[in-house]
Amino acid sequence: MQIKVVIADDHKIVREGLKSLLEKSPDVEVVGEASDGRAALTMAQQLVPDIVVMDINMPMLNGVDATSQLLESLPGVKVIALSMYSNKRFVQRMFRAGASGYLLKDCAYEELAFAISSVCADKKYLSPGLAGTLIEDYMGHVTSVEEVDSPALTAREREVLQLISEGWSTQSIAEKLNLSIKTIESHRRRIMERLNIESIAGLTKYAIREGVTSL
């Protein structure tokens, strides 16, 4: 039985490279490619793949929130994060969102293939280079910066925050999320109150620092 894969990455050359590599395996079929998190979510809901290879840094909807929403509606789909970030905060966030694997983008094709087979066998996979960092963190009982400093935002508030920080207008955000302009304004006001931030520039800096969006 073939493993159906959707590739989600905002760089076309990365998607094409991954597709070319993955399709060398007779057991893997790349059924779709998405250039942002929202498109990945829609595509997965339409195609119901076995695996979504998900970049973390994507426009419209980042990989962490896309993973969380995807698995809420399609719990049988497996997500493997493929990221340039080795920071433990990103790793923790992806696994908390429900990802089954986390690889760095400089990994060899053989590692990605092994991760896919492992995840399909209901196992978790973490790049060996990341394991030491997380074990040290656990053994030291270090509380993450996220747990200390980051006020909890709802999934919808994180979506709105990302779109605001990417420069979308209130009307555009309302259209993309199928909400009223007044609702988006309410979300923005609550986000600012929760974060104690009074400007769009401040929200943008926060979103970049917390990995909600990127430069």
At 71-108, the pLDDT tens digits run 999 999 999 999 888 888 888 899 999 999 999 988 88
Q: Could you give the CA distance from residue 84 to residue 169 in angstroms, rounded to a whole number?
A: 29
Least-confidence region, from 61-70, 118-127, 179-188, 206-215: 206-215
Which stretches within the chain are classed as H helix?
A: 12-22, 37-47, 63-73, 88-97, 109-120, 128-139, 145-149, 155-165, 170-177, 181-195, 200-209
- DSSP-based three-state secondary structure for 120: helix
Q: Is 3-139's fold the same as 150-209's? A: no
Per domain, the residue ranges of the chain are 3-139, 150-209
Residues 83 and 91: beta-carbon distance below 8 Å: no
Kindly report, residue by residue over 42-69, the tens digit of the pLDDT.
999 999 999 999 999 999 999 999 999 9
E strand or H helix at 6, and its extent?
strand 3-8
**Tokens representing 111?**
């590692």
Domain 3-139: which CATH number of 3.30.1450.10, 3.40.50.2300, 3.40.50.300, 3.30.56.10:
3.40.50.2300
Domain 150-209 CATH assignment equals 1.10.10.10 = yes
